[in-house]
C-alpha cells in the first residue's frame, strides 16, 4: 500500500507558525487515514523550531536554491533560519523513507511545504512559482509531491492507480 507523507497542519494539528492548524476537510483524507496511508509530519518542528514562531520566507530564490546554498530562509524579524529549515527537510525525507512514503501531500505556499508556489521573500503577500525547502528535497529524491489543492490528481493516482498502468499516457 502506497503511503503518503502529509503536512501535519492539513490534519488540523496546531503546528503552524501562528499556532493554528489548517485542516483540509476532504473525505479522501479521512479514508486514507483509516487505511493507515497517512504519515503526518511538520518539517519545521523537526528542524527544532517552536510553536508559535515568526513567519519565514525564502529570500533570493526557491527551496532548491536554499538546498544549493544560493538562497536563505529569513523570518519577518530578520533572523536567518536556513539551517533549521534544511535540517527539518532532511529529517522529513528520512522519516518519509523509513515510513515507506511514495507520495507527499503538502500545504502550498509554505517555505517548507509549498510545492507549486511560495512567497517571494518580501513579506508583502507576493508569490512566485517554486517549491519550499522540504518539497524540493522530497521531489529530488523521487517522492511524488502534490499541493493540498491538487488532491484530486493525487487521488487519481492513489485510488485509481493511473501512474502504475504500463500504458498510462
Nearer to ligand SF4, 44 or 120 (CB): 44
82 contacts ligand SF4 (rule: CB under 6 A): no
d(CA 107, CA 109) in angstroms, rounded, equals 7
- What is the closest distance, in whole angstroms, from the C-beta atom of residue 100 to ligand SF4 in the complex? 19
According to CB under 6 A, which one of 8, 38, 96, 135 is a site residue for ligand SF4? Answer: 8
In DSSP terms, 128 is beta-bridged to 118
Helices marked H in the chain — which ranges? Answer: 27-34, 43-46, 63-67, 82-98, 133-140, 151-155
Stretch of residues binding ligand SF4 (CB under 6 A), selected from 9-17, 28-36, 57-65, 148-156: 9-17
Q: Which one of residues 84, 87, 96, 107 is an interface residue with ligand SF4 (CB under 6 A)?
A: 107
Q: Is 3 in the site for ligand SF4 (CB under 6 A)?
A: no
Beta pairing class for 101-106 and 3-7: parallel
Amino acid at each position: 500500500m502506497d503511503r503518503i507523507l502529509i503536512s501535519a497542519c492539513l490534519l488540523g494539528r496546531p503546528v503552524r507558525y501562528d499556532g493554528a492548524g489548517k485542516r483540509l476537510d476532504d473525505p479522501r483524507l479521512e479514508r486514507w487515514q483509516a487505511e493507515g496511508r497517512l504519515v503526518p509530519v511538520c518539517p519545521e518542528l523537526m528542524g527544532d523550531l517552536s510553536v508559535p514562531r515568526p513567519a519565514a520566507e525564502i529570500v533570493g530564490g526557491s527551496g532548491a536554491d536554499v538546498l544549493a546554498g544560493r538562497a536563505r530562509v529569513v523570518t519577518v524579524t530578520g533572523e536567518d533560519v536556513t539551517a533549521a529549515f534544511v535540517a527539518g527537510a532532511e529529517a522529513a525525507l528520512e522519516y518519509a523513507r523509513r515510513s515507506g512514503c511514495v507520495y507527499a501531500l503538502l500545504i502550498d505556499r509554505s517555505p517548507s511545504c509549498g510545492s507549486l508556489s511560495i512567497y517571494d521573500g518580501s513579506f508583502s503577500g507576493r508569490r512566485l512559482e517554486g517549491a519550499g525547502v522540504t518539497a524540493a528535497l522530497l521531489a529530488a529524491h523521487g517522492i511524488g509531491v502534490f499541493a493540498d489543492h491538487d488532491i484530486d490528481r493525487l487521488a487519481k493516482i492513489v485510488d485509481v492507480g493511473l501512474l502504475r498502468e504500463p500504458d498510462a499516457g
